Copies of this chain bind each other. A is one copy, B any other.
Amino acid sequence: MSAVDRALLQAIEQAASPDQLVADRRDFHRYAESGWTEFRTSSLIARRLERLGFAVLAGRSVCAADARMGVPPASVLDAHLLRAIDQGGDPEYVEAARGGLTGVVASLDGGAGPTVALRFDIDALDLVESDAPTHRPARDGFASVNVGACHACGHDGHAAVGLGVAEVLMKLRRLLRGSVKLIFQPAEEGVRGARAIVEAGHLEDVDILIGHHLITGWGLGEIAPSMNGYAATRKFDVTFEGAAAHAGGSPEEGRNALLAAATAAIGLHALPRHRSGFTRVNVGRLEAGTGRNIVPGRALLVAEVRGESSALCDSMYERAMRVVESSASMYGCSAAVRSMGEAGTASCDPILAKRVKAVGEPWGDVTFESADRMGGSEDFTEMMRRVQSHGGLATNIGVGADFHGVLRSTLDRSSVLGGHTPTFDFDERAMALAVRLLASLTIDAMRAPGCSAEP
């Protein structure tokens, strides 16, 4: 490691306090908010960045409202907005996000040079957190108090890392050779939010885009400079409308939405496999009918398709629509389809991945992993595609944060993105490493030949 590097490293470590990272993470964890209801989370981030000196966008300017997918009903948004204020959200920023306009974009002008954007997703999952005494958040008192919302994918850590990176970069401001943009994205779960940020234009001037994800399948110090192979996915809800009728007295008057949905569910799972790569289909929920003796007149089906490529995913979606419409018409029903999330595939730029290695290798405490078949979906790809489409570079970095030793042996590294389970937890020390890596990479990328955007 050169003297310059050593100095930088030291500066970073002084700027970022591990204790603060842990405190932030546990605060976000305790007041977990799921997609489009990150009122408290967004408001506190916005206020903090503002105080640090960033130019902060919140509310209406962050997401293109119409491009948001899977937004909860107004009644839920309103209730959670009140909760956010109750739980210490910043009233002004909470109010700005009314209607589910969550998320924050903050900028720091570092003079001439490329614009480097870093993305941090901030939403929790719709999950009831474990209260088992063996679950650290429960034991140590920072388990979610919001029943049904739980940070089980590490986005609480991502948000804390984002604040840490902000603090470091502000302190090392003089080292920048370009601008920094910090994107705190709502609603990554269900791949519902990235597109709305893209549509709002925030990626248009970005030359280098960096994302990261804490990975509980890897140990502390294990880093993937790029994570590829995310599946393209389309999420959708279908409402079948038929006609209810008395099942005993006049069954012939019914148009059976339950059977339409059941037929669709089976038909969707029977979609043919594809030569060109893997595909997935899942009907995650089916809810139909009211009373036992009523022919069900209405049914809801919650589904998704995936594909190894965007083309495969689109082909699955097209066939799925045919199945849905035909199932409805078979039972004389109508089918209304609503898009609830969407993400394509994208590939990390090797040149940027190499910079990750170049930055981290001298430190001596990290090793590098290959992660080319991630399997799940991640809407960061939507941002990557936009940046790459105008000649920019992008990568998504995996940061090992395995907490439970036991996980190592039982989980398949290539498929674990996080737990999505009620007892999910991670090694909090990984956050400091993530801050160090992202801050260093930001500064490095602004200088590295081939990274600055001169297409």
**Residues on the B chain within 8 Å of A339, using CB:** none
Q: Does A265 contact B (CB under 8 A)?
A: yes
* Stretch of A129-137, A219-227, A266-274 at the chain-chain interface: A266-274
The answer to whether B284 and A289 have CB atoms under 8 Å apart is: yes
The answer to whether B275 and A250 have CB atoms under 8 Å apart is: yes
Contact pick for A322, options B126, B303, B329, B340, CB 8 Å? B329
Least CB distance from A229 to B in Å reads 11
Contact pick for A275, options B287, B325, B415, CB 8 Å? B415
**Residues on the B chain within 8 Å of A190, using CB:** 292
The answer to whether B284 and A296 have CB atoms under 8 Å apart is: yes
Within the assembled complex, what's the spacing in Å between the Cα atoms of A415 and B340?
36
In the complex formed, the residue of B with least CB distance to A306 is: B248
The answer to whether B285 and A272 have CB atoms under 8 Å apart is: no
**Residues on the B chain within 8 Å of A146, using CB:** none
**Which of A235, A249, A259, A341 has the largest count of B CB atoms less than 10 A from its CB?**
A249
The answer to whether B323 and A330 have CB atoms under 8 Å apart is: yes
Within the assembled complex, what's the spacing in Å between the Cα atoms of A39 and B326?
45
**Residues on the B chain within 8 Å of A322, using CB:** 329-330, 332
**Residues on the B chain within 8 Å of A278, using CB:** 273, 278
Q: Does A15 contact B (CB under 8 A)?
A: no
What DSSP secondary structure best describes chain A's contact surface?
mixed
Contact pick for A304, options B256, B292, B306, CB 8 Å? B292
**Residues on the B chain within 8 Å of A265, using CB:** 258-259, 262
Interface residues on A, range: 35 or more
Q: Does A295 contact B (CB under 8 A)?
A: yes
In the complex formed, the residue of B with least CB distance to A303 is: B292
With A266-B270, A269-B270 already in contact, the answer to whether A283 and B275 are too (CB < 8 A) is no
In the complex formed, the residue of B with least CB distance to A262 is: B262
Least CB distance from A248 to B in Å reads 5
Least CB distance from A69 to B in Å reads 12
**Residues on the B chain within 8 Å of A326, using CB:** 326-327, 329-330
The answer to whether A284 and B291 have CB atoms under 8 Å apart is: yes
Within the assembled complex, what's the spacing in Å between the Cα atoms of A287 and B288?
6
The answer to whether A249 and B375 have CB atoms under 8 Å apart is: yes
In the complex formed, the residue of B with least CB distance to A254 is: B272
In the complex formed, the residue of B with least CB distance to A328 is: B326
**Which of A256, A286, A375 has the largest count of B CB atoms less than 10 A from its CB?**
A286
With A259-B266, A330-B322 already in contact, the answer to whether A280 and B273 are too (CB < 8 A) is yes
Q: Does A246 contact B (CB under 8 A)?
A: yes
Least CB distance from A376 to B in Å reads 5
**Residues on the B chain within 8 Å of A287, using CB:** 286-288
The answer to whether A302 and B295 have CB atoms under 8 Å apart is: no
Contact pick for A256, options B231, B252, B272, B420, CB 8 Å? B272
Within the assembled complex, what's the spacing in Å between the Cα atoms of A308 and B262?
28
Within the assembled complex, what's the spacing in Å between the Cα atoms of A288 and B323?
19
Give chain A interface residues in 1-27, CB to chain B under 8 Å: none
**Residues on the B chain within 8 Å of A291, using CB:** 126, 284-285, 420
Give chain A interface residues in 296-318, CB to chain B under 8 Å: 296, 299, 302-304, 306, 315
Contact pick for A290, options B262, B275, B285, B340, CB 8 Å? B285
What sequence of 0s and 1s flags, for each residue 405-418 of chain A, a beta carbon within 8 Å of any chain B beta carbon?
00000001001110
In the complex formed, the residue of B with least CB distance to A332 is: B322
Least CB distance from A256 to B in Å reads 7
Q: Does A87 contact B (CB under 8 A)?
A: no
Binding site for B on A (CB under 8 A): 126, 190, 231, 233, 235, 246-252, 254, 256, 258-259, 261-263, 265-267, 269-270, 272-276, 278-296, 299, 302-304, 306, 315, 319, 322-323, 325-327, 329-330, 332, 340-341, 375-377, 412, 415-417, 420
9 nearest interchain CB pairs?
A247-B282, A326-B330, A262-B262, A285-B289, A284-B292, A269-B270, A249-B415, A252-B274, A251-B272
